[in-house]
Amino acid sequence: MTIKSCTYAEAILLAQSRILKENPNSFLLGINVTSPSAIFGTTIGLLQEFGAHRVIESPASENAITGIALGLATSGSTSILVHQRLDFAILSLDMIINQLAKWNYMYGDLLTSSVIIRLIIGRGWGQGPQHSQALPSLFMHVPGLEVYAPSTPQEVFSTLINASRKNSPTIILEHRWLFDIQGNVAVDEDLPLPKSSIVVSSDPAASVTLVTISFSTLEVTRARDLLSDQNIKIDIIEVSRLDKLDLESIIKSTLKTKKLILVDIGHSFAGASSAILSELYCAGMTLDSPPIILGLPRYPTPTAPSLARDYYPRCIDILNSITSLIGSSVKFIDPDYGKQLDVPGDRFIGYY
């Protein structure tokens, strides 16, 4: 097994390169996949390595290029379709929901739909209402789509590799604040797809269960480290696959803690966390206190940094929610006080 230390963006690039090498009947398509920015570096060098007939720069016609990807799939090809913002993919919902998600069912697997759709989500640089949406519940709701929100380099690498082996459509939600995180990746192994729930940390003495999605896992992990100084323990369970939930891990933890907080990347109302919570209650979960959902409020994303500051759930909100649930009087100083909260890091300067 070869282990490589790389960023989340590099893991995506490695997976795509491997797919294109191993399957000569595979393609990469999308707006700006051949541009100098290379979609945050996730497609850099692929045009030079595989040529313009396999790494295809598409026109700004999202519904049409999704139809081309589906057409390639029905002829036995595998397509990786990249949307540099989920918001742009909304223009192709007819093709995704009415065609891609339905063909295997309608034609009894006689026609395949091996299409991987990478959707980049999340905030950054005041992009505002039309360029910052997450909308995971929109895709969770549609039967026929496998929906993933991996948060580590290994998770996103394995998701891409395994999705390329399937004859069904896969949606991968990539939060732009994850692209620069570092991790180890087994680059030459076919590791299984990430479980629908991954226990990031567990402690016999945990007093609260936190369920996270995508980038929110990083914020909850920051909160855990600050809580450890106060001897407050928590369980962190990340939901990586959104269309098929592993409720067992969450229920097992809540049987111990009897307290639950869900930290979402999308809107709280009718969002992914609301769906997860509904499934948990239907499965018989019981709690001592009402659960808390930390997600986006029910209005569009603001552009101004002063407004964005209070729009997204932050580490301090997680800390305060935990202490309120357990009745602790511990007060925390906001670890992000004075920081610009709409910029994911020094490396990103806002090209997209």
Q: What is the pLDDT of residue 352?
A: 40
Closest-CA residue to 70 (of 103, 21, 106):
103
Closest-CA residue to 322 (of 213, 227, 237, 243):
227
Question: Where is average pLDDT lowest: 6-10, 305-309, 339-343?
Answer: 339-343
31: Cα within 13 Å, side-chain hemisphere: 17
Q: How far apart are CA 55 and CA 32, in angstroms?
A: 11
Is the predicted pLDDT of residue 30 greater than 90, yes or no?
Answer: yes
Residues in the chain: 352
What residue spans define the domains of the chain? 3-186, 197-326
236-287 pLDDT per residue, tens: 999 999 999 999 999 999 999 999 999 999 999 999 999 999 999 999 999 9
Q: How far apart are CA 320 and CA 62, in angstroms?
A: 42
Q: Alpha-carbon torsion 289, 293, 298, 301, what sign?
A: positive
The pTM score is 0.95
Mean pLDDT, to the nearest integer, of 96-105? 93
Architecture, CATH, for domain 3-186: 3-Layer(aba) Sandwich (3.40)
197-326 has the same fold as 3-186: yes
The pair of three-digit structure tokens given for residue 74, joined into one six-digit string? 């029905």
Contact 18, 187 (CB under 8 A): yes
Q: What is the pLDDT of residue 92?
A: 96
How would you class 38 by CB atoms within 10 Å of its CB: exposed for 0-12, middle for 13-18, buried for 19 or more? middle
The pair of three-digit structure tokens given for residue 228, joined into one six-digit string? 């450890």
Q: How far apart are CA 164 and CA 15, in angstroms?
A: 10
Q: Are strands 208-212 and 197-201 parallel, antiparallel or unpaired?
A: unpaired
Q: What is the pLDDT of residue 79?
A: 96
197-326 belongs to CATH 3.40.980.10:
no
- 3-class SS of residue 57: strand
Q: What is the pLDDT of residue 317?
A: 96
Is the predicted pLDDT of residue 234 greater than 80, yes or no?
Answer: yes
